[in-house]
Structure 1
Amino acid sequence: MSDDPVFDVAVVGAGAAGLAAALALARDGLRVALVGRHAPVADGRTVALLDGSVRLLTALGAWEAVAPAAAPLAELHLIDDTGSLFRPPPARFVAAEIGLDAFGWNVESARLVEALRACARACPGLSLIERDGAGGHVPGETAADLPLEGGGTLAARLIVAADGARSPLREAAGLPVRRWNYPQAALTTILSHACLHRDVSTEFHTRRGPFTLVPLPGGRRSSLVWVTGEGEAARLAALDDATLARAVERQAQAMLGRMAIDGPRGMVPMRGLLASPPVGPRLALIGEAAHVFPPIGAQGLNLGLRDAAALRDTVVEAVRAGRDPGSAAALSGFARGRGLDARLRTGAVDALNRSLLSGLLPVDALRGAGLLALSTIAPLRRAVMREGILPRLGTPSLMRA
């Protein structure tokens, strides 16, 4: 174990959360290594980047490259299509009501990762290591050793696991994890359509899960996230493009006119995961290594980016105060704050999804009453919109207005 580690922080995992964490730390003069394969996958999946995430990407210098390929989400419409006796009228949320041009921006995931990669390649103090971590890390008194694929080790005062839902670092460290599954899957693809979306994201609540159309640039393209039963999702995925497009038109009640499939398809399992706590000896978990969400409510990656920004604040504060950034004391505040944020978001997404699947009249009544209250009580609606975009408590510095 090296007494003078080469790096202050080693981030393992080169997805969006890992790239953002490495950039946020390196821009403050820390010695940072980013370990992982730097190859985005063009699978047609998109991400709705909420306002706080856009602020972070702007601070990291990545937003300028992302913005031309992103579409604003100026309005969100929720439509109850469950057939419930307590069906509320459609709910409409407008970003301008809380002083924003848009709640967020929708962009293809591959474009986001490529923009962050370009920033990482140009960032002084950030070393890109095109290898995977080989198993777990070995924590010591002043640093941790990270074995690398193909041989050799890397020493850093803190190891950051951004290595995905099956995180080898988390598993090797033996951190406790709660896992759960839903009897659903999400079909994703990109659509072209005859009518303009007018920067409106529309979410239909059905008995099998949410069916969501999210704007893409150009006015006549949208991304689709269709959550439904596992068997039905498999059946839809097997359809030819023309037949699938007609099925989407029907489910969307023809609101965007005639549709065509305009990108690759994906299938996302509906599952959840929560690591508690999201830290271990000289180890911090971020992104899907710490929490996995079903693709509902645009929470997954936005929460991972908040992890990255919050970790930056924790590490920089420790280093400036002359403290060890990998110590249990330094990571305790990060663990509390990120654990609370993840639990709150997990609970909200889980409650919404299970309420749709329930079919019980009292549950339908509560959900309908909630949507009706949001539609008619302006102060409540504004408070919920603000909290949905970025929690007021513990907002990382790079995400603040």
Structure 2
Amino acid sequence: MTDALPAPSAPFDVAVVGAGPSGLAAALHLARSGFRTVSIAPKSPPEDQRTTALLGSSVGLLQHLGVWDALAARGAALRTMRLVDVTGRLVRAPEVAFHAREIERDSFGVNVMNRDITDVLSTAAAETPGLTRLEGTVETVTIGERLVRLETGAGAVVEARVAVAADGRRSRLREAAGIGIDTWTYPQSALVLNAATEAAHDEISTEFHGPNGPYVLVPLPGRMVSIVLIEKPEAAEALNALSDEDLGRELERRAHSLLGRMTVVGPRQVYPLSGLTAKAFGRNRVALVGETAHVFPPVGAQGLNLSLRDVGHLAEALVRARRSGQDIGGAETLAAYDRMRRPDVKSRTLGVDIADRALLSDLLPAQIARSLGLALADRIAPLRRLIMREGLAPSFLTPRVMRPERPRRAVEP
């Protein structure tokens, strides 16, 4: 990376702001699609103890980018996903286990530390021709008729035909583009940490559904699991205040000793749960990807997988515009990108919101409906397979490069 730019003979095609996983994936994919691309981000992204289950179509994009093998080597396969109702309510759902082999897959995907995803993508970005990396934080955004002008705190200036905002939920670029957001909150917080286990996880992800939210144990390499425990905010803070030894015992108790003794490894983090959806996914020469465009609770492992579909559809929209001679940052191109993404984002956001609120509901009809739905999923094989396939990626809303039935090849410049 560099903290200075040589004076370019012409503006960049694309400037990607933000170097988290979605920003790095966007910079890689667009550069390899033949766009002259610059990635702008601070030198050291914050340490992230969270993990991501890379599922379904995400594997296709990461294979296309040439990074899947490196990521899979650092993660743990997810061959079974088990749901267990521990609400203690009068009406409870049956235990349900979804197996990847039922849909002719070796696994649903791989669970990887976020810091490892960033590291692998960053290494690939450094080796990608046509991708310039600039250290810095964008402080000033000026949107012109034909170009976006970005100035960093160190005084570096970048001009591009389109800017990709991957700078998080408080995005400076989104604000500059005049794109509003809808936000909401949940009466919950997530305690996130990793733990060593006495018993092997056997590549099974287990999700206990409690009265205040899910408690998820997701495999990591060896006898390790990543944990997301969603509770009332005061309860999450109380758990976080426990010693490692006491917290380990509480985690084991809540897991009904499924994995034996549990030992906390590394730091913990507590996140208040909230949601965000942008009112447009592209406008005024700015396209949104990742948490700049959508945020919702860590339920169902949808976050980064949804963001990678943002990346795939954005590349499609820009390539189509280039082939037809249109302005890649123009209103028509960004409107096409918005149309591609809106159904997927809206449906996933609604699905996660309904699932979370149904679990929290004390209303008997809601509990009956939830329990009946899981019972049907447990007993009706075609429905089970449909749920598994749609959970990995939507049938009709997946970018071409991420569809497994199509050959994966470089997009022609």
- Give the TM-score, by structure 2 length: 0.94
CA distance in 2, matches of 1:170, 1:40: 20
* Aligned partner of residue 29 in structure 1, secondary structure: coil
Does residue 162 of the first structure (1) align with residue 166 of the second (2)? yes
Q: Deviations over 1:89-128 (max 9, x none)?
A: 1011011111111111101000010000000001000000
* Aligned partner of residue 368 in structure 1, secondary structure: helix
Within 5 Å, give how 1:197-208 maps onto structure 2.
197-208=201-212
Tell me if structure 1 keeps the 8 A contact 2:177–2:285. Answer: no
CA distance in 2, matches of 1:393, 1:162: 25
CA distance in 1, matches of 2:99, 2:302: 19
Within 5 Å, give how 1:191-202 maps onto structure 2.
191-202=195-206
* Aligned partner of residue 66 in structure 1, secondary structure: helix
CA distance in 1, matches of 2:43, 2:348: 29
Q: Where does residue 261 of structure 1 map in the other structure?
A: 264
Q: Where does residue 127 of structure 2 map in the other structure?
A: 122
CA distance in 1, matches of 2:192, 2:337: 33
Q: Where does residue 411 of structure 2 map in the other structure?
A: none
CA distance in 1, matches of 2:96, 2:273: 25
Within 5 Å, give how 1:230-309 maps onto structure 2.
230-309=233-312
Q: Where does residue 99 of structure 2 map in the other structure?
A: 94
The verdict on how the C-alpha distance between 1:189 and 1:3 changes in structure 2, with shifts beyond 3 A counting, is closer
Does residue 189 of the first structure (1) align with residue 184 of the second (2)? no
Q: What letter corresponds to residue 18 of structure 1 in structure 2? A: G
Q: Deviations over 1:298-346 (max 9, x none)?
A: 0111111110111111111211222111011112121012121111111
Query: What's the CA shift for 1:265?
Result: 1.0
Query: What's the CA shift for 1:40?
Result: 4.2
Query: What's the CA shift for 1:15?
Result: 0.4
CA distance in 2, matches of 1:90, 1:22: 42
The verdict on how the C-alpha distance between 1:70 and 1:380 changes in structure 2, with shifts beyond 3 A counting, is same
CA distance in 2, matches of 1:297, 1:39: 29
Q: Deviations over 1:356-400 (max 9, x none)?
A: 111111110000000001001111111111011011113112211
Tell me if structure 2 keeps the 8 A contact 1:275–1:290. Answer: yes
Within 5 Å, give how 1:29-108 maps onto structure 2.
29-108=34-113
Tell me if structure 2 keeps the 8 A contact 1:3–1:143. Answer: no
Which residue among 335, 348, 353 is the counterpart of 1:345? 348
Q: What letter corresponds to residue 288 of structure 1 in structure 2? A: E
CA distance in 2, matches of 1:5, 1:143: 11
Higher mean displacement: 34-43 or 382-391: 34-43
Q: CA RMSD in A?
A: 1.5
Does residue 143 of the first structure (1) align with residue 147 of the second (2)? yes
Which runs of 5 or more structure 1 residues have no equivalent in the other structure? none
CA distance in 2, matches of 1:149, 1:302: 31
Tell me if structure 1 keeps the 8 A contact 2:143–2:177. Answer: no
Q: What letter corresponds to residue 311 of structure 1 in structure 2? A: L
Query: What's the CA shift for 1:49?
Result: 0.5
Q: What letter corresponds to residue 55 of structure 1 in structure 2? A: G
Q: Where does residue 16 of structure 2 map in the other structure?
A: 11
CA distance in 2, matches of 1:90, 1:229: 24
Higher mean displacement: 341-350 or 143-152: 143-152
Q: What letter corresponds to residue 299 of structure 1 in structure 2? A: Q
Q: Where does residue 109 of structure 1 map in the other structure?
A: 114
Tell me if structure 1 keeps the 8 A contact 2:94–2:375. Answer: yes
CA distance in 1, matches of 2:158, 2:178: 21
The verdict on how the C-alpha distance between 1:165 and 1:118 changes in structure 2, with shifts beyond 3 A counting, is same
The verdict on how the C-alpha distance between 1:40 and 1:149 changes in structure 2, with shifts beyond 3 A counting, is closer
Higher mean displacement: 343-352 or 2-11: 2-11
Tell me if structure 2 keeps the 8 A contact 1:25–1:316. Answer: no
| Structure 1: 4+ residue segments shifted above 4 A | 2-5
Q: What letter corresponds to residue 169 of structure 1 in structure 2? A: L
* Aligned partner of residue 313 in structure 1, secondary structure: helix
Does residue 173 of the first structure (1) align with residue 177 of the second (2)? yes
Query: What's the CA shift for 1:5?
Result: 4.3
Q: What letter corresponds to residue 262 of structure 2 in structure 1? A: M
Which runs of 5 or more structure 2 residues have no equivalent in the other structure? 1-6, 405-413
- Give the TM-score, by structure 1 length: 0.96
Q: Where does residue 3 of structure 2 map in the other structure?
A: none
* Aligned partner of residue 233 in structure 1, secondary structure: helix
